[in-house]
Every structure is written in structure tokens, then in C-alpha cells.
């Protein structure tokens, strides 16, 4: 994704990291129908708007099968709930277990999409600058781990395209083993080169060095307040505390719909910033 000129990229690193942690906590804290759908839809839409069509396609190829396995696993082994839909032998399949499995799959897909989206903004240099003031060794580890996932996905797509272009047809299992072997070799080589590069740049040198300080903007303050408010809602708002088990009650999630507005603003904040940026640019272009 091309993120270096976007308004969202110019936010402070601490703001982006706190936003990622807040979204991850809210999504994975409990299985909530509205939150799960918001997470999956906003993550996919954010990737599309910021030019990550290839990343979205690759992630969906991974998320959909894994999400389907989660759904099937819950349906087979989960017997909770009181609203029986049908029986498979002596085992009852309940409405609550089906909904729980479905929204668990949405939450998983949303968490993966959001992590991949933020990895494009939280590059290794920004992570290192943020944590270097506390621990330089820990900063190097964090910066390498945040950059690892998108680089692996990109390299895996390149390996698959190269094999298709070569026209060498092998058995599917053999082909997958060779792809994983090439990917593993590349990961080892890239990690060694990155470690040498970080050492050459003085990542672990002691002593004070000049640092560039980012200015705190109004958008940073607004996002921090929004994150804290949304996390608080998950613990104190009645619709957020509603549970699917033992019986799914739709009215429990709709008794205070206004509480979903901060969550909507939080999850769709990248989309809102992108729309505002495009609208502002078109308005300026008309004056020229």
C-alpha cells in the first residue's frame, strides 16, 4: 500500500499503535455481533481505499478457510444454547452455537485484516523510534516483528507468480513444499540482512542522539479520546455486555443503539480520514 502521503500516516506513531491495540482489544474481548461485523467490514474497506487490493485478496484466501474451520469446529463441539434448530444424530445444533461460530469467524477475519492494515503504517523505523527511548533492544525486536508479516505475504505472492511464469508443473503437494522452503530461506536471509543493517545504523549504540519529535495534532488527541471511550463502553455499556448464551436476545443489542456510534467512528476512522482527504484535495483542485 502507498501510505507515505496519506493523512493517516502522518499521525503520531503512538497514536497508531494505541489505535491498533484498542481495536484488537475491543474485537477479541468478547464475541459481539455488531463489533465483529464492524471489525471485518471496516478492515476490508480500509485496505481497499488505501490501495491494498492485492493484500486484501491474499488475506481473504487465508482468512476465509480458517474462519470456515472455526465455524465448523464450533458447530461440531459446541452444544451451548437453548434454541434448537435441528439434530445431527443425538447432537443438537442450536441457534446460539451457530451465531457464536459465525461471529467468531468475523472477529478473526477482522483482527487479521486490521493487523495487516496497520503493519503498512507502523513500519520498522517508526516502531524503533517510539520504543528506543525505553529499550533499544526491545525496539529492534518490535520493529522487526511488525514488518515481518506484510513482507512474508508479499514475498509469498512473488514466489507463486514466479512459479506460474516458469511453467514448471509439479504435484500440488510438492509445489507447496518447495514454495514454503523458498519462503523460509528468504526469511532467514532477510532477517540476517536486517540485523546487519540495524547494527550498521547504530541501533544498539549507547548514548544520547538527536531525535525528531512529532507534533501532537488535533486528530491525535481526538483518536486517543475515542479509543479510551470505546474501551470503556465495552465494560460499562449494557449492549456491549450482552451475551449470546444461554439464549440469543436481539433486543439486548438494540436497547441503546447510540452507544455504537463511537465504535463506528473508531473502526471507520481510516475511511473517514481518507474520504475527508480526497474531498479536501478535490475542493482545492477546483480553485486552481
Q: What is the pLDDT of residue 228?
A: 92
Extents of the domains making up the chain: 9-122+215-288, 130-202
Residue 232, C-alpha cell as written in the block? 470503556
Q: What is the pLDDT of residue 171?
A: 65
Residue 190, C-alpha cell as written in the block? 532477510
DSSP letters, 47-74, are HHHTT-HHHHHHHHHHHHHHHHHHHHHH
- Please, which contacts does 196-204 make with residues 24 or more away whose CB atoms are closer than 8 Å? 198/128, 198/140, 198/143, 198/144, 203/128, 203/132, 203/136, 203/139, 203/140, 204/136, 204/137, 204/140
Q: What is the pLDDT of residue 144?
A: 67
Residue that is written with C-alpha cell 493523512 in the block: 7
Residue ranges of the chain with pLDDT lower than 70? 1-5, 124-125, 132-150, 166-173, 195, 198-214
Asked whether the beta carbons of 244 and 80 are under 8 A apart, the reply is no
Amino acid at each position: 500500500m502507498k501510505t507515505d502521503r496519506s493523512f493517516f500516516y502522518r499521525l503520531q506513531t503512538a497514536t497508531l499503535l494505541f489505535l491498533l491495540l484498542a481495536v484488537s482489544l475491543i474485537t477479541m474481548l468478547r464475541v459481539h455481533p455488531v463489533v465483529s461485523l464492524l471489525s471485518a467490514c471496516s478492515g476490508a474497506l480500509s485496505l481497499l481505499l488505501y490501495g491494498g487490493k492485492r493484500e486484501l485478496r491474499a488475506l481473504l484466501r487465508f482468512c476465509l478457510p480458517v474462519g470456515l474451520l472455526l465455524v465448523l469446529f464450533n458447530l461440531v463441539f459446541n452444544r451451548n444454547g437453548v434454541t434448537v434448530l435441528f439434530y445431527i444424530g443425538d447432537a443438537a445444533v442450536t441457534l446460539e452455537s451457530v451465531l457464536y461460530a459465525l461471529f467468531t469467524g468475523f472477529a478473526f477475519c477482522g483482527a487479521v485484516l486490521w493487523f495487516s492494515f496497520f503493519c503498512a503504517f507502523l513500519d520498522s523505523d517508526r516502531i524503533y523510534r517510539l520504543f528506543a527511548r525505553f529499550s533499544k533492544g526491545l525496539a529492534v525486536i518490535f520493529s522487526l516483528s511488525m514488518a515481518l508479516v506484510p513482507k512474508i505475504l508479499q514475498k509469498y505472492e512473488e514466489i507463486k507468480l514466479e512459479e506460474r511464469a516458469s511453467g514448471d508443473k509439479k504435484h500440488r503437494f510438492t509445489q507447496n513444499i518447495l514454495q514454503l522452503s523458498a519462503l523460509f530461506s528468504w526469511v532467514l536471509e532477510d532477517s540476517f540482512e536486517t540485523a546487519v543493517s540495524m547494527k550498521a545504523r547504530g541501533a544498539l549504540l549507547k548514548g544520547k542522539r538527536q531525535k525528531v519529535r512529532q507534533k501532537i495534532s488535533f486528530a491525535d488527541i481526538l483518536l486517543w479520546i475515542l479509543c479510551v471511550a470505546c474501551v470503556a463502553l465495552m465494560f460499562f455499556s449494557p449492549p456491549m455486555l450482552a451475551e449470546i448464551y444461554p439464549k440469543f436476545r436481539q433486543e439486548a443489542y438494540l436497547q441503546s443503539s447510540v452507544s455504537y456510534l463511537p465504535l463506528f467512528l473508531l473502526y471507520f476512522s481510516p475511511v473517514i480520514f481518507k474520504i475527508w482527504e480526497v474531498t479536501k484535495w478535490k475542493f482545492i483542485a477546483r480553485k486552481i
